[in-house]
Amino acid sequence: MLPMEGLEKATGSKITVTLKDGTIVIGKLAGVDQNINLVLEEGSAAGKETTKNLGKILLRGNSIVAISMD
């Protein structure tokens, strides 16, 4: 299975995304495109010192370091 197909099949599932700046974003995958831009619902971000509820969020593919399925 190609990585893109795996992400498309994970729609509706909880995922964890690590960004280039070290922020960890957790949420339910609502959508993905060919550039690995992700739309998450019920998102929350954990930085070095704080956690913030984000609701629905768009993550640009070029800012993503890693994606894991929970």
- Cα gap 44→70, rounded to integer Å: 14
Band of residue 1 on the pLDDT scale cut at 50, 70, 90: very low
What pLDDT is recorded for position 8? Answer: 86
Domains and CATH numbers, the chain: 3-69 (2.30.30.100)
**Does the structure show a pLDDT above 50 at 66?**
yes
First to last CA, the chain: 18
Write the pLDDT tens digit of every residue in 8-52: 888 999 999 999 999 999 999 999 999 999 999 999 998 778 889
Write the pLDDT tens digit of every residue in 51-60: 899 999 999 9
